[in-house]
A and B are shown apart, each in its own frame.
Chain A
Amino acid sequence: MTPVSLALTVLLAPLVSAAVIAVFLRRAGTLAAVVSVAAAAVIAAGAFTLAFGGARFEVATPWLQLGSFTLSLGFKFDDLAALMLVIVALIGLCVHVFSLGYMHDDEAKGRYFGGLSVFMFSMLGIVLADNLFMMFIFWELVGFSSWLLINHWHERLSASDAAKKAFVTNRVGDFGFLLGIILCYWLNGTVSLSELAHGHVSSRLIPLLLFCGAVGKSAQMPLQVWLPDAMEGPTPVSALIHAATMVAAGIYMLCRINVLMVPDALTVIMWVGTATALYAACCAIAQRDIKKVLAYSTLSQLGYMVAAFGLGSLAVEHDGHRAVIAAGVGAAMFHLATHAYFKALLFLGSGSVIHGCHHEQDIFRMGGLRTRMPLTFWTFTAGVAAIIGLPFLAGFFSKDAILYLAYANNRAVFAVLAFTAVLTALYMTRLWRITFFGEPRSEAADHAHEGGLTLTLPLVVLAVLAVVGGYAAHYPAGFGGVFSQIPEAEGSDHLAILATSLVVLLLGAGTALSFYRPAAQDALEARFPGLHRLLASKLWFDEIYGYYIAKVQQRFALLLNYLEQILLAGFVIRGLVAGVVTYVGVAARRLHVGRLNVYVYWFLFGVVALWLFAAGVF
């Protein structure tokens, strides 16, 4: 099998799976699960063969041609795509297997696994796309599959609302994304990633418009509101889509269009990411729902990646000669990879906890799970250790790369990101301690139990990756093109960064350990209610948007509707055509006798008369 046809197989396997499930297996949930997992296994096998087999290629075929406009579909499989493909395939397989256990008793398993397959298809399309139009196509499809899976328990109003909110918010971002692509097409005459790399018109507007897409999909401020609500979906979905892969697509897209970046655009991107990282970390401290804590943590980490990308390139000395590396891309992708492992692990761990506690999600009603769910505890611990940057775990390396880049390029950003890291250590340790330690604080937690093999095996695999994933950067065999761009501190900078990250870790985790006790009440709420209320408010983003939608947009729509009904239908048009209508009306009333056949006869009579006249009969 040639690499191209293998890539095609990888892309189409989940589509076939989704189609088969939709057409034949809607009611046969178990069989649907098998088909979907098999597709995920095919993807994983193909992805590893492609990525580590060394094949790198580009192909394209025109798909829609109108005049001089050609939209093609194609693959651009370079090191960046290979890295992303491996991440998506690996996490995808883990989540599919986990879902076998987690969704075992669900009534709509067919729809769920079909949705997972649709998602895999869409996500792989983004990864492999060789041009921006194709990326946009799959970008939209990813938004749809996200809608489908958040909406899985559709009889819950909250799930249905969250799904709608996610799709619409993403569309707001896509509005800019699409305009950016169109502008890029007209300015450069092409949207092919490789052709753009060879030469393009420098523009500030294009990268910023394209960035809008990333703001939507990666839930950056001010469009971050949909991601916490998206936790209404089943937990494996949160792990796959709303933590590890889809939300990272925004960062991946930015790295794909790195060549189009200009300094001004990068500055904007950097500050958006930095603000999101800090904002979300603050929000995470006051959450009670285990998934919501992780959701805000995801937002914060995505902000980290966006900020890293925005920090841009770095001049380094290498073997005595100076070179400029795309450090932003390297650091962002590195963190994307490690984050995918440990955040998927944490989400699946939380799924295991929720499953064990019979769908209890409030951490203050848990406790004592360390002994009741030991495997989940230890793997979760690995995840927490990785995210807070415990030395030599995955998160430590990738976070240090970002901190160093910030240290070298922008000290203000460095300060904010370092403070965010303190908060990260704080809220993750809080979550860990309250969930797993102390006495069980509810019936459900008391009866908690470990799940079956399908639940635990993915946890172990991901825990291993969370521990060793950081060393991938030192093993650049498959992904040299990306990992060679990772900034590495040397000399005194190295010491400064190391010291910073250790201080940050000790400060955050230490505060959490001394401040929070496994108890039924939030210590912050008890001791600093004002601060807690501020953090829990999330700065009223939802309220402000809600006010806009209900009081401005909807009222404006109602006003227009009112005008439409009264003015247009009743007055203006009638006034304009009054003359005509009156005459037609008078004539029509004579004929208007209310019987159908009369009209038909009149019509036929008219047609025949006209015809005879025209044909020259009389």
Chain B
Amino acid sequence: MSNLPFDPLLFSIATPLAVAFVIALGLPKRWSVRLAYVGFTAPALLALWTWCNYGAAPQQQGYAFLRTYSTGLDQLGIRLTLGLNGISLPLFVLAGLVGLAAGLYAIQSGAERLKIYLMLLLVMLAGLMGVFASVDIFYFYFFHELALIPSFIMVGVWGTRGPSENSYAAMKMTIYLTLGAMLSLLGLIALYVKSGASGAHSFNLITLREIIAAQPLEVTLQQNIFALLLFGFGILVSLWPLHTWAPLGYGAAPSSAAMLHAGVLKKFGLYGLVQIALPLLPAGIAHWGWLLGLLAVVGNVLVVGLITMAQRDLKQVVGYSSVMHMGYAFLGVATCSTLGVGGVVLLMVAHGLSVALLFLLATSIHQRTHTFDLQEMGGLAQKTPVLAGFFVAGTFASVGLPGFANFWGELAIFVAAWRFSPLFTVLAVAGVVISAIYGLRAAARVFFGPSTDALAKVTAVHPPTDLGWSERLPALILLGALFFVGFWPQSISRPLNATLAAVYAPANPAAK
């Protein structure tokens, strides 16, 4: 396997970039779209291929498919090192699948200036594949920025609200997320300098781990660096009360951008915490864990959960619910145990798929009702049963019904959290009731009961059609993956467990 004729990871990053570049050269629209299919499909297929072959692939220092490329920055210790371990593999696959779904949905959306829109999406996708494939923390950060910037532009230009609201949302997102990214960059640089990795001239995570395992950082230093990473990443993942950019931004974002951002890009922060911060800075999480748990449970789960119940706008419901579910993920991080962190990874994948599905369907609903206002909807299921079926499935997935991937993540986190704090666990599990209330209420408002007068007027002018295949296919990809992991969690947990045992055991001997 090591003598593969090609590097699937490099190709999964390079293909969408290359396609975007060719489109930018001025390819006609028809050919641009055809080429875009290749750009969106290739990473997904490559990701699935790595998923299937991960177990058989030879491992080097805990990573499969490990390759290093020089990019002219070797003097600074920066090399493009690509590889996958049990933590990054599921997220790499997630990025590929959501990227494909978002791309297919974008192509059929017929957006204005479609070529530029597709280009930006492709660049974003390349960045996302790169984030999870990078073993080098400089490139880890670089790829994040590569994915982040197109998302601002897409919100500002292709937003679904009015022009002024779009640019306000884009500006707010930019400020918050840049701030978050800057803080986490500071943390990463501090880690690099203080660990002595700068002496070894390496941003490579594997080297960093070895250095820190040989000589752990001082406790206060760990705590301070961890704080930078926690709050930097926290902003990016919408930790309460630093979350206000999220509902606003997602409310305005065009569907495919929202799918990629909420589904995948947002996981960057959690991934950074799980892959880098927790194993390298155990004293940091020991110090900040309580605050993190408190903010996550009281802020994200309970307060944001109740706020979600008060929303009247379908997209806001999905946006706020996504903030709420991040609370579970943060709680899992706070436990700093193999079980809790495993739950976080499962939940990241599951949430990424389900929130992307819901954003996609919310847009499809909007195309039929011409509104996001829940008060004006009702009874749509009579006209579009398939759309209703998909939305109900997505809702129940996000509510954490067994059979969907989300259940495993939430369950593992709840079980792990009891060891961390029974009180927090009780409060977090109460969130399960809250999400059932707003999830089912939204589904019922849109689809069930008699149709409202407002809707009747709209449907009289534009008779709604049911979900066509061009919309159904991307939804099916996401739903299929939710079911697959829901029925077969070992597909993720087996490699994950092996990596967690290796990465977390030396750093945190107390973790079980």
Contact (Cβ within 8 A) A569 B244: yes
A137-B402, A614-B76 given; A156·B449 CB < 8 A: yes
CB within 8 Å for A63 and B311 given contacts A141-B401, A572-B241: no
Q: A66-B338, A67-B501 are in contact. Are A182 and B414 (CB under 8 A)?
A: yes
Classify the secondary structure of A's interface with B. helix
Decide if B337 is an interface residue (CB 8 Å cutoff): yes
Give chain B residues whose Cβ lies under 8 Å from the Cβ of A63: 489-490
CB distance from B299 to the nearest CB of A (A): 11
Q: How distant is the Cα of A183 from the Cα of B337 in the complex, in angstroms?
A: 17
Give B415's nearest chain A residue, CB to CB: A182
A554 touches B310 (CB 8 A): yes
Any B CB within 8 A of the CB of A581: yes
Given contacts A67-B501, A182-B415, contact A154 B381 (CB under 8 A): yes
Measured CA separation A245–B285 after assembly (Å): 47
Chain A residue numbers with a CB within 8 Å of B149 are 603
Smallest CB separation, B217 vs chain A (Å) = 25
A179 touching B382 in the complex, CB below 8 Å, given contacts A155-B448, A564-B244? no
What residues of A have a CB within 8 angstroms of the CB of B153 in the complex? Answer: 596, 599-600
Instruction: Report chain B residues within 8 Å CB of A584.
Output: 175, 178
Interface size class of A (residues with CB under 8 A): 35 or more
Interface size of B as a range: 35 or more
Q: Is B432 within 8 A of A182, CB to CB?
A: no
Residue in contact with B500 in the complex, picked from A67, A108, A154, A174, CB distance below 8 Å: A67
Question: Is B458 positioned at the interface, with any CB of A under 8 Å from its CB?
Answer: no
Neighbour of B418 across the interface among A160, A186, A588, CB < 8 A: A186
Give the most central of A136, A160, A553, A572: most B CB within 10 Å: A160
Given A68, A175, A556, which contacts B306 in the complex, CB threshold below 8 Å? A556
* B-chain residues with CB within 8 Å of residue A108 when the two chains form the complex: 385
> Do B382 and A155 have beta carbons less than 8 Å apart?
yes
Q: How far is the CA of A138 from the CA of B401 in the complex (A)?
A: 10
Binary contact track B375-393/A, C-beta < 8 Å → 1, others 0: 0000101100110010000
A179-B426 in contact (CB<8A): yes
- Known contacts: A140-B401, A141-B402, A564-B244. The answer to whether A64 contacts B489 by CB under 8 A is yes
Residues from chain B with a CB closer than 8 A to the CB of A65 are 490, 493-494, 497
User: Is B72's CB under 8 angstroms from A615's CB?
Assistant: yes
Against B, the Cβ 8 Å flags (1 = close, 0 = not) of A594-606 are 0010011001000
Compute the total of residue contacts between A and B using a CB distance below 8 Å. Answer: 164
Contact B412 A164 (CB under 8 A): no
Assess whether B48 is interfacial by the CB under 8 Å rule. no
Q: Does A175 lie within 8 Å of B440, measured CB to CB?
A: no
Asked if A568 CB lies within 8 Å of chain B CBs, one says yes
What's the least CB distance linking B363 to chain A, in Å?
Answer: 22
Q: How far is the CA of A217 from the CA of B331 in the complex (A)?
A: 29
Residues of the B chain whose Cβ atoms lie less than 8 Å from the Cβ of A538: none
Is there a chain A Cβ closer than 8 Å to B52's Cβ? Answer: no
Encoded as 1 (CB less than 8 Å from any A CB) or 0, chain B from 412 to 455 comes to: 10111011001001100110110011001100100111100000
Is A167 within 8 A of B429, CB to CB? no
B73 touches A615 (CB 8 A): yes
Q: A residues touching B (Cβ–Cβ < 8 Å)?
A: 22, 26, 63-69, 71, 108, 111, 133, 136-138, 140-141, 144, 147, 151, 154-157, 159-161, 163-164, 167-168, 171-172, 174-175, 178-179, 182-183, 185-186, 553-554, 556-558, 560-561, 564, 568-569, 572-573, 577, 580-581, 584, 588, 596, 599-600, 603, 611, 614-616
A-B contact pairs, 5 of them (CB 8 A): A111-B385, A156-B449, A175-B433, A560-B307, A614-B76
Contacts beyond the supplied A69-B416, A161-B444, A186-B419: 11 A-B pairs with Cβ under 8 Å: A67-B500, A71-B411, A154-B381, A154-B449, A174-B432, A182-B415, A185-B415, A554-B310, A581-B175, A584-B175, A596-B116
